[in-house]
Amino acid sequence: MVCRALRRELLGYSRGLLEESLLGVPAPPLPRGDALLEEKRGLFVTLRLQGALRGCIGRIVAEVALPETLRHCTLEAAFGDRRFSPLTGEELSMLTIEHSLLSPPRPLAKAENLRLGVDGVIFSLGGARSVFLPEVALEQGWDTRALLEALARKAGLSPRAWRDSGARFQVFQTCHYGEDDRG
């Protein structure tokens, strides 16, 4: 989906945005020349500080081309994720950046048909909604039921809410890559 050279450029662009914001170093120009960059693609940017989650913000469906979505998500992950204080310049050298490019979401008829580690999932019931990227279930050691219960809790509902007849599920896949990837 994303060639190795473009992955490096996109990760470099994210890091450059953070260096510009925190250190005053001019950010690199937007990557150009690949058709993917013109697409309106869902994207999540994950920041890790010495392996621990430090911020994660994304868009399931983007309204602008990929570079602008990347800019927004990178800066929001660093400075707007309410679970964390804003990133500092001292943390930058210990930080790793990951991207997850999303396929368009599609409906899933039965929640039990989720493919752990392959499908990201969007859960909605009434006005409540939550989402997990495909790698979350594997990182947490969850089976399908634990994932569905966690989605319900994340949406602010009871763990059994995923069983409600009004519950809706969509799945998507990601192309996940990061600065720690080898090769």
Q: Would 179 be classed as within a structural domain? A: no
pLDDT at 135: 87
**pLDDT value of residue 1:** 56
Distance in angstroms (rounded) separating the CA atoms of residues 32 and 10: 10
Q: Is the pLDDT of residue 148 over 60?
A: yes
pLDDT at 58 over 70: yes
- Provide the mean pLDDT of the chain: 92
Which residues does 27 contact at the CB level (< 8 Å), separation at least 6?
13, 16, 17, 19, 20
CATH number at residue 38: 3.30.700.20
Q: Output the pTM of the full model.
A: 0.83
Chain segment 115-137, per-residue pLDDT in tens = 999 999 999 999 999 999 898 99
- Residue 182 domain-assigned? no
Average pLDDT rounded to a whole number, residues 26-31: 81
Residue 114 structure tokens:
């989720």
The answer as to whether 138 is a domain residue is yes
Residue 41 burial by Cβ neighbours in a 10 Å radius (0-12, 13-18, 19+): buried
Q: Which domain holds residue 87?
A: 4-102
Q: What is the mean pLDDT of residues 68-84?
A: 96
CATH number, domain with residue 117? 3.30.1490.150
Do residues 74 and 119 share a domain?
no
Residue 6 pLDDT exceeds 90: no
CB 100 within 8 Å of CB 44: yes
Looking at the chain, the whole-number percentage of residues with pLDDT higher than 90 is: 77
Query: Do 150 and 103 meet the contact criterion of CB atoms below 8 Å apart?
Result: no
Q: How many domains does the chain have?
A: 2
- Regarding whether 158 and 92 lie in a shared domain, the answer is no
Same domain flag for 139 and 68? no
Are 15 and 73 in the same domain? yes
Q: What is the mean pLDDT of residues 21-37?
A: 85
Does 181 fall in a domain?
no
Q: Which pLDDT score, from 0 to 100, does residue 67 have?
A: 92
Asked whether residue 87 falls in the same domain as residue 13, the answer is: yes
Q: What is the pLDDT of residues 86-112, one digit of tens each?
A: 999 999 999 999 999 999 999 999 998
Give the model's pLDDT for residue 27: 83
Clarify whether residues 68 and 11 are in a common domain. Answer: yes
Instruction: Mark whether 92 and 110 lie in a shared domain.
Output: no
Are 98 and 10 in contact by the 8 Å Cβ rule? The answer is no
Identify the pLDDT of residue 183: 45
